[in-house]
């Protein structure tokens, strides 16, 4: 992998990640951009104790542009974009409309490929490995920023999820606090250790592997399963067999095997609802341990992949119980979801 760091016309950082070591990246952003002005602010909810990012400048962000005006495509034929070069393998840049900025954290965009019509599932294993390397490198870089406490790499895919740009891409958030879901996991892991003397994440993975009814696939270095209390109609958790707190700690065996495993999961997701169905909308989310917190070494890096589509043509909405009380109601039994994901294995 070759990494090239440069800047865009308004001073935002842009990083190219290339498969070929001899790739030269010297294209200059020719756009007449003003300096980015953000109004991001993190406010604490006194009743719930969680944080809300107030970012009114995001109302002006690009919304469903036509393919020939996509800001994530390379700069070509006189049309300038966020990527000054005319091609790229993987590119990462600071979001022009960030939810978090300055002392309130950092937001980045990760472009998986310059092919506008592709999806992550269309990548080769070599390309997917490069994305993993970029996620890992950005986790390390953001960990060095004083205002960042936790790094979250994720992909929103599909208009049903709320995606406003169709180009295959994900995002990275550097939060200035520990997120509520992670706090819950750390709290439950600490309680589990006090009560049993063992690691909660290890025990969850061991239980799923022993039961086997919800295991979707298992390899030498990874295991993927539908969790016992899945929140979403089709939800898969992917764990490395060797517990590590974040992406930086993955060993070479896990890194080598990840592209094959992850691409297989994504391709199965697109087969869930049968031939002729549109691509399955999903959220793919890496859960990494926060930095410098109690229990960090007991946390287990894992990826959660889920869709809000519950059956053909129907979505799972977060209505009264879910949105009002955070009590999920799942219409698809986790065992049935796992069976379906095993049935649609790609050949």
Question: In angstroms, rounded to a whole number, what is the distance separating the alpha carbons of residues 162 and 302?
Answer: 24
* Whether the Cβ atoms of residue 170 and residue 123 lie closer than 8 Å to each other: no
Contact 109, 131 (CB under 8 A): no
CA distance 1 to 17: 7
Active site residue 116: no
> Directed axis angle between helix 180-196 and helix 200-211, to 10°?
80
196 DSSP assignment: H
The answer for 176, left when phi > 0, alpha when psi is -120 to 50, beta otherwise, is alpha
> What is the distance between the alpha carbons of residues 98 and 191, in angstroms, rounded to a whole number?
36
Q: Which of 203, 289, 199, 292 is nearest to 250 (CA)?
A: 289
Burial level of 67, CB count in 10 A (0-12/13-18/19+)?
Answer: exposed
Q: In which element (H, E) is residue 94 found?
A: strand 90-94
At 6, phi and psi to the nearest 5?
A: -145, -170
16, 122, 148 from 70: Cα distances, Å:
18, 19, 30
Host H or E run for residue 237: strand 234-240
Q: How many CB atoms lie within 10 A of CB 220?
A: 10
Catalytic choice (169, 192, 221, 237): 169
Helices 125-143 + 252-269 axis angle, to 10: 120
Catalytic residues: 169
């Amino acid at each position: 992998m070759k990494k090239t760091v440069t800047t865009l016309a308004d001073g935002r950082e842009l990083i190219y990640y290339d498969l070929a070591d001899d790739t030269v990246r010297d294209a200059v952003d020719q756009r007449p951009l003003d300096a980015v002005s953000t109004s991001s602010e993190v406010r604490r909810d006194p009743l719930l104790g969680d944080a809300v990012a107030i970012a009114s400048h995001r109302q002006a962000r690009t919304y469903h542009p036509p393919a020939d005006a996509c800001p994530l495509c390379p700069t070509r034929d006189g049309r300038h974009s966020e990527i000054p070069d005319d091609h790229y393998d993987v590119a990462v840049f600071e979001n022009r409309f960030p939810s978090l900025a300055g002392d309130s954290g950092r937001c980045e965009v990760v472009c998986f490929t310059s092919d506008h019509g592709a999806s992550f599932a269309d990548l080769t294993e070599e390309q997917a490995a490069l994305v993993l390397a970029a996620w890992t490198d950005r986790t390390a870089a953001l960990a060095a920023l004083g205002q960042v406490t936790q790094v979250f790499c994720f992909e929103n895919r599909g208009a049903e999820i709320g995606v406003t740009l169709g180009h295959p891409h994900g995002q990275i958030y550097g939060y200035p606090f520990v997120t509520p879901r992670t706090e819950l996991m750390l709290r439950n892991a600490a309680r589990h250790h006090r009560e049993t003397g063992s690691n909660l994440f290890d025990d969850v993975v061991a239980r799923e592997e022993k039961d086997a009814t919800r295991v979707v696939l298992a390899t030498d270095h990874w295991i993927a399963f539908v969790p016992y209390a899945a929140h979403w109609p089709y939800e898969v958790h992917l764990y490395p067999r060797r517990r590590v707190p974040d992406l930086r700690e993955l060993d070479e065996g896990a890194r080598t095997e990840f592209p094959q495993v992850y691409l297989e999961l994504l391709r199965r997701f697109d087969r869930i609802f049968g031939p002729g169905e549109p691509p399955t909308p999903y959220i793919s989310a890496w859960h990494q341990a926060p930095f410098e917190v109690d229990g960090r070494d007991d946390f287990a890096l894992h990826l959660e992949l889920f869709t809000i589509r519950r059956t053909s043509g129907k979505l799972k909405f977060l209505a009264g119980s879910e949105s009002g009380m955070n009590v999920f109601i799942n219409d698809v039994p986790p065992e049935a979801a796992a069976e379906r994901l095993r049935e649609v294995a790609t050949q």
